[in-house]
Amino acid sequence: MGDAHRIGVVGLGVISRAYLDTLAGRFAVRVTAVADLDASRSAAVAAELPGVRALTVEELLSSPDVDTVLNLTTPSAHAEIALGAIRHGKNVYGEKPLAVTLADAHAVVDAAAQAGVDVGCAPDTVLGTGVQTARAAVEAGSIGRPLFASAVMVTPGHERWHPHPDFYYTEGGGPLLDMGPYYLTSLIHLLGPVRAVIGAAGRLRTERVIGSGPRAGERIPVEVDSHVSGVLEHVNGTLTTITTSFDGVATTAAPIEVHGETGTLSVPDPNRFDGEVRLHPLGDTHWRTVPASAGYEDGARGVGLLDFVAPGGRRANGRLALHVLDTMTALLRSSAEGRRIELTTSARVPAPVPLTPAQTWRGEATPSPA
């Protein structure tokens, strides 16, 4: 255990359980500390995990027993926590988006470069067999030269199930900044970086009603656009139309479709690690299922962090997250200003993930013989 990469977790909300379940019992990493603004929550989580200390946020950021800070705070705190970790010489891996504003995201990436530490950022769902198999099919020429793509995310809104959904409807929230990273990161894996965008957006409701938990029935204000559509111009010339909405009930549209000269590829939900990839070749009368050929099998939240600390990993990296945020904020600017926006960043497409069995990436610790 002495060589395990030491992780300190800041923010112990709903998503933290998924990460902790993935990280528990791994040879490569060890959770050493947790922190939350609610000290009782930190203490409760630490009590469940042998060898884990409950600390204040500042104590965790400066702890010599932490190599990488896992930042699971709400979006408005992402940049503050990341910069605090970097000031103390820590790597930081965070939930998406990288920051609420593009300026803050640049500050995080630039500070990390100056400090000689690394930044990683979700989503890591794109490293699973769903998107990676689709990427392998595109790169193998299964649809010929890609021409255009579509991406659609429609939901009635997270207030139906989240007991404290306020942050989804304040600065840093909304369907694009919340769910867009899954779709845009996947599109960059599939089609490469974006050079320019055209966007349109609207705030179709002024308030939402919490549907579960102790605040059920409470009304909360909507302070951001809840429906965002746009067109992405990729560097390679392909075009993507994208719609993200918290204002629809349901849709029959595929999450992502990539259309090429000789076929169409249907890509599964990028908010999942797996899912069925389907191919419709030109001239065929039906869809074919593409067997899983790439990606982390049985992936779960946190596999991107395991990849981040592994030699040759860092596929879910800060530069990619910065480019995704640039794309999203440019879409919102385009909507507000009524014009085409050219991006100020780009990103390298991460290395593909070879088909990796679950037992390999998990590296589960096995109990010693009795």
Give the tens place of pLDDT for each residue, 61-76. 999 999 999 999 999 9
Which amino acid makes up residue 223?
E
Taking 3-state DSSP, the helix, strand and coil percentages for the chain, each rounded to the nearest 5, stand at: 35, 25, 40
Give the tens place of pLDDT for each residue, 32-66. 999 999 999 999 999 999 999 999 999 999 999 99
Q: In whole angstroms, what separates CA 333 from the centre of its chain?
A: 22
| Local confidence band at 315 (pLDDT 50, 70, 90 cut-offs) | very high
pLDDT mean over 294-315: 95
Percent of the chain with pLDDT over 90: 92
Q: Is 363:27 a contact under the CB 8 Å cutoff?
A: yes
The DSSP-derived string for 245-293 is ESS-S---S-SEEEEESSEEEEE--TTSS---EEEEETT-SS-EEEPP-
Residue 364 in this model has a pLDDT that exceeds 80: no
In angstroms, the Cα distances linking 102 to 32, 201, 214, 350 are 31, 19, 34, 21
Q: Which helix (H) or strand (E) holds 136?
A: helix 129-139
Q: Is 16:48 a contact under the CB 8 Å cutoff?
A: no
CB atoms within 10 A of CB 111: 18
3-state secondary structure 29-53: EEEEEEECCCHHHHHHHHHHCCCCE
Q: What are phi and psi of 257, to 5 degrees?
A: -125, 135
Can you tell me whether residue 369 is helix, strand or coil?
coil
The DSSP-derived string for 147-176 is EEEEEEEE-S-GGGT-SS-GGGGSTT-HHH
